[in-house]
Structure 1
Amino acid sequence: MKFKPPGPISAAFLLSTAPINIIEGPIESGKSSTSANRLYKAICTAPRSRDGKRRSRWLITRNTYPDLRGSTVETWLNWFPPDVYGRFYDTEPYLHEMRFLDVEADVIFESFLDDSDDVIRSLRSKEYTGAWVNEAQFMPRRLVFEIASRTGRYPRKIDIAEDCPEGLRQWLICDHNAPFTDDHWIRRMRGDVPLPLDMPPEERMQYDKPPSVRFFKQPSALIEILAPDGETVRGYEVNPKAENLANMSDGVRSTIDMERLAGEAQAAKADPPRPHRYLELVGGRTKAEIDRDLMGRVVRIQAGAPATPQFRRERHVGRPDMEPVEGVTVVLGADHGLTPAVVFLQQINGGWVCFDELVGENIGTNEFAPLVKARLLMRFPWIATGGGGYVAWGDPQGGWRGSTDTRTPFKLYEAHGILMRPPAQKDKPLLRLEATRKVLATEFNGQPRFRAHPRCVRTIDALEGGAQVRRVKTPDGLKLTEEIVKNAQSHIFESLGYALWGGGEVKEMLQPANSEARKTIHRTIPKGRRVFRFATGRK
């Protein structure tokens, strides 16, 4: 059997000698076929046992049995049909007994529900030669590396002939499309995003890339065609560097050319032109789906109603070289509790820029406040020398005492040198939500009024759909309203709402329609509210 890799990245993945190899690429880029043939190559080159047979045992897994049977198994059997390579047992877990030439290989297709202790315990009783994790973006890190730890265990060293006296190594391959969150374990281990500075050292260890792991990433399937403003996407063209193009139906390679030629064909009453396969895949997809499936970008999978459907990554995420403006007031927004969160913003030319964020887990305000102060001075160092001030807004409940500590969160922040206050005496979540939506939906001088630095991965994750809302009845039962669902993303989302509220967005939103238009401002301090400076502020 002959197999030609669909491109140079796939070829490097196929030939890699690293124990663990992980490849990412767009849909229909040949990842699954390359993975199947890489495993087949390992089957055919497995060390011989003392009787001359190449015995091996392999695991192929995916997150659900329907996906495993309907996609992965079909790909495998298309390449290695049972009438040529050996009997296939079509019951869960599926088994392909490959018996040809000197090969005796058992390929087991099994799905694992999650990375629970029961699943891990079950895995630890199994021994494989190697494994293939298909669509690894849906698999937890703990499960993937537990599978890796069960490879290189069959056959036993004493059963291997003298041509492999050192025994077997770990052997794992993974293929996947773009992960669906910025904090996905693959992106963190690959070094795509920085780890949060407040992440404990013992938690950071899980994202250290082991020397045995090698990552591969195929080019995107498409290239965006931008309008003269450099931001608006007018269309797409096939990326000439994309892999697997030779195995696809060819045709018109640009959506703009496609529209022009289709118009000409319609005028001439002729058949429309045929698009390239990748352009066919654009049809019927949203911008987010194109970004995820064909561009290789992170797009969150929507599990419910997003709190801010106005958010667009290409519009609201700024460039990595964005820097804070010295002298412009820094605005902090804080949510309290044992999962506290703080955002750090500046308002520049009528728009908000989120330059940093900080999120804690299972940590109290007394421990979290010094981390906030350290981050503030690290990102905006001129504040320490009086070169600019800050204002800090927090959840109004920050003025309430806790059940185990008579000091309020605001008092605890003040004890660490950060003066914080509530934007109002009583919290109004719906107003905060609407103010956040308004900022995302509006422009100032033709530019979006909100931008987040790419380092603010949790804020972006929350705005992109991680923060959810549900509809509930009002207390009188007469109408429906929205409330924010408490989840891992709600804390950073609400901290942003407090910053915008304190910065005057709620007040502006409630102004009558015929009120005087807001003046252009460069420093967001509502009238009569004090700016604090570390050099001159009270202790």
Structure 2
Amino acid sequence: MSDLVLTEFFDYEPLPEDMVYKPSDTVNNFMQDFTFVSLIIGAIGSGKTLGSIMKWYYLIHLQEPDNNGWKRTRTVVIRNTTVELKDTTMKSFSEWFGDDLKINWSNLTALYEDEEDKVHAEILFRALDKPQDMKKLLSLEITYAYLNELRELPAAALYNVTSRLGRYPSPTMGVKATHACAWADSNAFDQEHWVYKLFFDNLPSNHKLFLQPPAMLDDGSVNPDAENLENLPDEYYGDYMLGKPQDWIDVMAKVKFIPLQTGKPVYPEYNDKLHCVDEKQVRPPDVNIALICGGENGRTSAVVFGQVDAMGRLVIFDEIVSEDVGAMEFGKYVKQMMQADYGAYRHMIWLDIAAGSRGQVTDHTQLKVWNNLGLNCKLVKTNKPDIVVEALKAKFNTLIAGSPAIMISSKCKTLRKGLNGGYQYRRVNVSGDKYAEKPDKGKYSHVCNALEYLVNGMGAGRELMSSSKFKALANSGKQFSGGRAFKK
């Protein structure tokens, strides 16, 4: 049994005398909350996982006894993969409760019994490696559920498991679950994540969020209000952070809800502080100059709107992003938006070459559908990544009269997230830093593709291909990666 300290905050103190545990204020409130679903979010090292484990220990002692005088409970503990389940979650349970918790590592089960207090607590450890694992959650008869690292789990995991709460103990045993509930812990995540939308945008009345203070402040110093500092090594948020990417520090230590890069950004040349301009400072488009737009229709459809200003800079001032809509439906929405906001402007929308191909279900191409709607569309000459990507990189690396050659309005939130690293090359599952040759198709790829088509339609692709450097590299068979060659 671990030598840890018992907290004085509990109204009921079930911990043995040799177990000393004193939670921080946020963790303590989280542990004693019996809302149907509760979530604690904090920095790495903030003590949230241990708090979740101790919440289980607290709850199993609060269960009302059955006909035989035993407090019987059954808890499912969920992690995204079996490896992480065994290496982290189960290991944490084992380290804290030792031989008092009988763990079957093969069957992924555990049993805790306390003869003196008449506690009989079963644990079912479950990983969601395969699609069928999700369905198995629907057959459980449980009292509680603990979802470890909720951001790594699909929304269906929470939906499925909460439908099984309070099924054990059964009324035939003379008692029901005293506090049937589910709880979870997590590091921060992107604002587009399903967890953010559930707990920040549309919090149900029977859900509760506990947010720990960030461990680090924006100036890089340790937050004096950070929790669990006394149990961490010295300089944990100092020397331990050296060499780590800024986005990792922002998410894991500063608890910022931004995308965390898991691959290699397609556009590391993009600097949000340099290329982004406040939408209030963006001049309205000149009605005498045609709008240049780029469009992409896929699982996530997108159109970006731009215009070249008097200095020759490309200003991207608006975006439309929609999910799971067809070419016709999205085209109608784009037309309505353009009529409402940009009805007096001439425009050109540049589309991917694939927009000129017939679909499997219809003989109509996206190009034909959109042109029939009155949207003035043309196809770009190429969609080869080594051309469209490098052409946009060249824009990011070019200055005109001391200002970036391309500027993005702060209004274009999805586009900026993509350029900030959401649009990336997927890491390949081999040793070392190996990445796929083509950018990954994800929720940020389509809006970034739309910008690529816009820039390509302007002629940047032709400018790139006509450069002597590109021709030399193309003839050599090497991949082009020299955006700065075009800096003016």
Q: Are 2:239 and 1:280 equivalent residues in the alignment? A: yes
Corresponding residue for residue 186 of structure 1: 195
Alignment identity in percent? 24
Whole-Å separation in 2 of the counterparts to 1:287 and 1:22: 25
* Aligned 8 A contact 2:391 2:460 in 1: yes
Structure 2 CA distance for partners of 1:211 and 1:10, relative to 1, 3 Å: same
Aligned positions of 1:509-524 closer than 5 A: 509=464
* Aligned 8 A contact 1:430 1:482 in 2: no
Corresponding residue for residue 437 of structure 1: 393
Equivalent position SS for 2:375: coil
* Aligned 8 A contact 1:333 1:393 in 2: yes
Q: Which of 9-18 and 504-513 deviates more? A: 504-513
Whole-Å separation in 2 of the counterparts to 1:148 and 1:338: 29
Corresponding residue for residue 226 of structure 2: 242
Whole-Å separation in 2 of the counterparts to 1:501 and 1:24: 42
- TM-score, normalised via structure 2 length: 0.78
Equivalent position SS for 2:224: coil
Corresponding residue for residue 321 of structure 2: 358
* Aligned 8 A contact 1:47 1:160 in 2: no
* Aligned 8 A contact 1:359 1:492 in 2: no
CA offsets 1:216-246 (integer angstroms, 9 cap, x no match): 2222211233xxxxxxxxxx11122222223
Q: Which of 48-57 and 346-355 deviates more? A: 346-355
* Aligned 8 A contact 1:157 1:168 in 2: no
Whole-Å separation in 1 of the counterparts to 2:298 and 2:101: 59
Equivalent position SS for 2:31: helix
* Aligned 8 A contact 2:261 2:421 in 1: no
Structure 2 CA distance for partners of 1:159 and 1:342, relative to 1, 3 Å: same
Aligned positions of 1:470-481 closer than 5 A: none
Corresponding residue for residue 418 of structure 1: 375
- Residue identity opposite 2:329 in structure 1: E
- Residue identity opposite 2:373 in structure 1: H
Whole-Å separation in 2 of the counterparts to 1:24 and 1:470: 27
* Aligned 8 A contact 1:44 1:54 in 2: yes
Aligned positions of 1:108-507 closer than 5 A: 108-114=123-129, 116=131, 118-161=132-175, 168=178, 170-179=180-189, 181-191=190-200, 208-225=202-219, 236-249=220-233, 276-297=235-256, 298-303=258-263, 305-311=264-270, 322=280, 325-328=283-286, 330-336=291-297, 340-346=301-307, 350-353=313-316, 355-361=318-324, 363-377=325-339, 381=341, 383-384=342-343, 386=344, 388-399=345-356, 405=362, 407-424=364-381, 426-443=382-399, 445=402, 449-451=406-408, 453=410, 456-457=413-414, 460-461=417-418, 464-468=421-425, 483-484=438-439, 486=441, 489-507=444-462
Of the three residues 13, 29, 53, the one matched with 2:30 is 13
CA offsets 1:359-412 (integer angstroms, 9 cap, x no match): 342x4322220111234456xx2x23x3x5443221244345556655443332
| Aligned Cα root-mean-square deviation (Å) | 3.5
Whole-Å separation in 1 of the counterparts to 2:120 and 2:394: 60
Structure 2 CA distance for partners of 1:126 and 1:285, relative to 1, 3 Å: same
Corresponding residue for residue 86 of structure 2: 69
Structure 2 CA distance for partners of 1:130 and 1:346, relative to 1, 3 Å: farther
- Residue identity opposite 1:218 in structure 2: Q
Structure 2 CA distance for partners of 1:403 and 1:289, relative to 1, 3 Å: closer
| Per-residue deviation, 1:498 | 0.6
Equivalent position SS for 1:81: helix
Of the three residues 22, 25, 34, the one matched with 2:51 is 34
Structure 2 CA distance for partners of 1:286 and 1:51, relative to 1, 3 Å: same
Whole-Å separation in 1 of the counterparts to 2:418 and 2:265: 11
Whole-Å separation in 2 of the counterparts to 1:295 and 1:376: 39
| Per-residue deviation, 1:442 | 4.2
Corresponding residue for residue 432 of structure 2: none
Corresponding residue for residue 478 of structure 1: none
Whole-Å separation in 2 of the counterparts to 1:351 and 1:6: 53
Corresponding residue for residue 524 of structure 1: none
Corresponding residue for residue 10 of structure 2: none
Structure 2 CA distance for partners of 1:292 and 1:354, relative to 1, 3 Å: farther
- Residue identity opposite 1:54 in structure 2: K
Whole-Å separation in 2 of the counterparts to 1:317 and 1:114: 40
Corresponding residue for residue 114 of structure 2: 99
- Paired residues in the alignment total 438
Whole-Å separation in 2 of the counterparts to 1:465 and 1:178: 15
Whole-Å separation in 1 of the counterparts to 2:306 and 2:388: 16
Whole-Å separation in 2 of the counterparts to 1:77 and 1:13: 22
Whole-Å separation in 1 of the counterparts to 2:93 and 2:414: 37
Structure 2 CA distance for partners of 1:510 and 1:124, relative to 1, 3 Å: closer
| Per-residue deviation, 1:465 | 4.7
| Per-residue deviation, 1:466 | 3.4
Equivalent position SS for 2:110: strand
Structure 2 CA distance for partners of 1:374 and 1:217, relative to 1, 3 Å: farther
- Residue identity opposite 2:269 in structure 1: Q
* Aligned 8 A contact 2:77 2:123 in 1: yes
Corresponding residue for residue 2 of structure 1: 6
Equivalent position SS for 2:126: coil
Structure 1 unmatched ranges of 5 or more:
193-207, 226-235, 251-275, 472-480, 514-539
Whole-Å separation in 2 of the counterparts to 1:505 and 1:391: 16
Equivalent position SS for 2:44: coil
Structure 2 unmatched ranges of 5 or more:
8-20, 429-435, 469-488
Equivalent position SS for 1:17: coil
| Per-residue deviation, 1:30 | 0.9
* Aligned 8 A contact 2:142 2:167 in 1: yes
Whole-Å separation in 1 of the counterparts to 2:82 and 2:361: 48
* Aligned 8 A contact 2:78 2:147 in 1: yes
* Aligned 8 A contact 2:425 2:437 in 1: no
- Residue identity opposite 1:241 in structure 2: D
| Per-residue deviation, 1:25 | 1.1
* Aligned 8 A contact 2:294 2:304 in 1: yes
Structure 2 CA distance for partners of 1:339 and 1:184, relative to 1, 3 Å: closer
Whole-Å separation in 1 of the counterparts to 2:103 and 2:62: 22
* Aligned 8 A contact 1:357 1:459 in 2: no
Structure 2 CA distance for partners of 1:91 and 1:283, relative to 1, 3 Å: same
Whole-Å separation in 2 of the counterparts to 1:313 and 1:176: 27
* Aligned 8 A contact 1:24 1:216 in 2: yes
Whole-Å separation in 2 of the counterparts to 1:151 and 1:285: 40
* Aligned 8 A contact 1:220 1:294 in 2: yes
- Residue identity opposite 1:325 in structure 2: R
